[in-house]
Structure 1
Amino acid sequence: MERQERMMRNLVRTSAIGALMLAAGYVSSANAADAVVYEPVVAMPADMYNWTGLYVGAQAGYGWGDADYTTNAGGGSSGSFDIDGAFAGLNLGYNIQHGSWVFGVEGDVSWSGIDGAGIAFDTDDISAEIKWMGSLRGRLGYAFDNVMPYVTAGVAAADTEISISGQMNASDSNMHVGWTAGIGVEVGLSRNISTSLEYRYTDLGSKDYAFASNVVATGSGELHTVGAALKWRFGQ
């Protein structure tokens, strides 16, 4: 009888311990399940502005700067005078967007009314006129949705004519090739249309101008421009 009671007590004790272990396991599993955190997948909004693609546009603006010259006539002389005027033309470019960064290349060509005049050889008038100018540049921008500030730099060219009048009447034209760099901001007005405002500094380099068999002038210049553009974006 005593043996049977002892066996019953052991059976009850074993059953109680098993129940407690089972309950502890359930609670532990529940806590582990509660500890799992599922991060939501954040997708780019469907209406986020897309800068990737080809575009073409029109531009216009104003430029100003200095024209410098050195000549071998009259024992040699040098001087500088101001140039300024408006310009207008076309641009073509392509952008690739990676996250918020926008990488692009842009080319432009413009008719130019930038000109100015000074005094050469103490008696003659000297004038310079940029007939047209263009550039091929890289662009790097950072997009805040449809607003993109950017920097730009590349190669610049300008077709320039220098004329002398007075005791000597002569003119010569040359293609200047230099470099240009600037900053700007572009704003998307719609999926296909954007507008930009840009400042650039351009170093036109130097070229020799022949006014007579023994009269040569070296002309160089620097230019500041501020321009606005309206662009049409394809495939948006």
Structure 2
Amino acid sequence: MNKSILATAALAASAATALAADLPSLKAPPPVYVPPPVIWTGFYVGLNAGYNFSNNNTNLVTSAPLLPGAGIFTWALSANAGLPAQNNGFIGGGQAGYNWQFARNFLVGVEADIQGVAASGGSQTALTAVPFAATVFFTTYDARRNLDYLGTVRGRVGFLFTPTLLIYGTGGLAYGGIRNDLGLFQFSTIAPFGVGASSSSDTRVGWTAGGGVEWMFWPNWSAKVEYLYYDLGRVTNAFALIRVPPGIGLYAATQSADRFNGNIVRAGINYHFNWGPAPILASY
């Protein structure tokens, strides 16, 4: 009798266990990871590096005689020349700006940057020859130019192709520190004749325009690739040619005219402070 009761109880317990295994679990599912919102609005700072390709310009040297006489006239005109001028080099620095995201997937902002230019010096030597009577007049040139630093203050207008990918255009003011030096020496097959030189160092102001792509690859962090064209205008230096050895003093008025413009291709990384509110956007 007791054995029968124990067997019945064991069978009932086994059936209850099997029934409980078939019931749905009441355990809560693991929480779903929700990434933080992508916030473009706010201040940011960053670093950049790239390369500066200056345009293939010409340093124009023009000269006019200050005294009468066929020889002086020829000496002065023989100083006229066009010297190739370039400034290529690595460029790197920092930037800071502010973005404002609006109207679902549009963005406007302002950015300022400044960069140093490495190996930016361009130099050119040349020799010209002009026949006169029974001799030949020669002029040698030593032209040097440097772009020491370059900065911009620009507006930006962009479109968010996805919440994390920005395509933008940009443009505004450009400024840079330039140096421009030219020296020339005139001589003939008989004797040396004259010399002249000019030198200038200045901060030039011009304009810039370009565009780029920026990707918010991590909360608060973005990377960008950017192209800019800049133009700092034309630099003109006036000087005089002087007779060597002394005898007739100044014999020609001369000037050099050189343009500083070019192209920048660079990459950068930005840290965003995300001080703005998270955008309320429709799904993309």
TM-score by length of 1: 0.73
In structure 2, the residue matched to 1:119 is: 125
Report the alpha carbon displacement of residue 56 of structure 1 after superposing the two structures with TM.
Answer: 0.8
* TM-superposition CA deviations, 1:63-83 (whole Å, max 9, x none): 112343223344333333332
In structure 2, the residue matched to 1:107 is: 112
* TM-superposition CA deviations, 1:87-146 (whole Å, max 9, x none): 111111000000210101001111112232223674112121100110111111111111
In structure 2, the residue matched to 1:140 is: 157
1:131 lines up with 2:114 in the alignment: no
One-letter amino acid of the counterpart of residue 52, structure 2: G
Q: Unaligned stretches of 5+ in structure 1? A: 1-44
Residues 121/139 of structure 1: CA separation in 2 closer, same or farther (3 Å cut): farther
Residues 81/219 of structure 1: CA separation in 2 closer, same or farther (3 Å cut): closer
In structure 2, the residue matched to 1:176 is: 204
In structure 2, the residue matched to 1:229 is: 268
Calculate percent identity across the aligned residue pairs.
30
Extract structure 1 runs of 4+ deviating beyond 6 A.
none
Find the residue that maps to 1:72 and give its secondary structure.
Answer: strand
Q: State which of 59, 68, 88 in structure 1 corresponds to 2:58.
A: 68
Q: CA RMSD in A?
A: 2.3
More helix by share: 1
In structure 1, the residue matched to 2:5 is: none
In structure 2, the residue matched to 1:92 is: 96
In structure 1, the residue matched to 2:86 is: 82
One-letter amino acid of the counterpart of residue 269, structure 2: L
* Equivalent residues of 2:46, 2:269 under 8 A apart: yes
Q: State which of 184, 187, 193 in structure 1 corresponds to 2:221.
A: 193
Q: 1: distance between equivalents of 2:126 and 2:60?
A: 9
Q: 2: distance between equivalents of 1:176 and 1:120?
A: 27
Find the residue that maps to 2:143 and give its secondary structure.
Answer: strand
In structure 2, the residue matched to 1:33 is: none
1:49 lines up with 2:12 in the alignment: no
Report the alpha carbon displacement of residue 190 of structure 1 after superposing the two structures with TM.
Answer: 1.6
Q: Unaligned stretches of 5+ in structure 2? A: 1-33, 64-75, 129-139, 186-195, 242-252, 276-284
In structure 1, the residue matched to 2:230 is: 202
* Equivalent residues of 1:83, 1:115 under 8 A apart: yes
Superposition pairs of residues 20-39 of structure 1, within 5 angstroms: none
TM-score by length of 2: 0.62
One-letter amino acid of the counterpart of residue 97, structure 1: Q
More displaced stretch, 200-209 vs 126-135? 200-209
Which structure has more relative contact order (CA 8 Å, sep 6+)? It is 2
Q: How many residues align?
A: 192
Q: 2: distance between equivalents of 1:209 and 1:229?
A: 37
* Equivalent residues of 2:36, 2:219 under 8 A apart: no
* Equivalent residues of 2:39, 2:274 under 8 A apart: no
Residues 188/157 of structure 1: CA separation in 2 closer, same or farther (3 Å cut): same
Residues 211/175 of structure 1: CA separation in 2 closer, same or farther (3 Å cut): farther
Report the alpha carbon displacement of residue 165 of structure 1 after superposing the two structures with TM.
Answer: 4.4
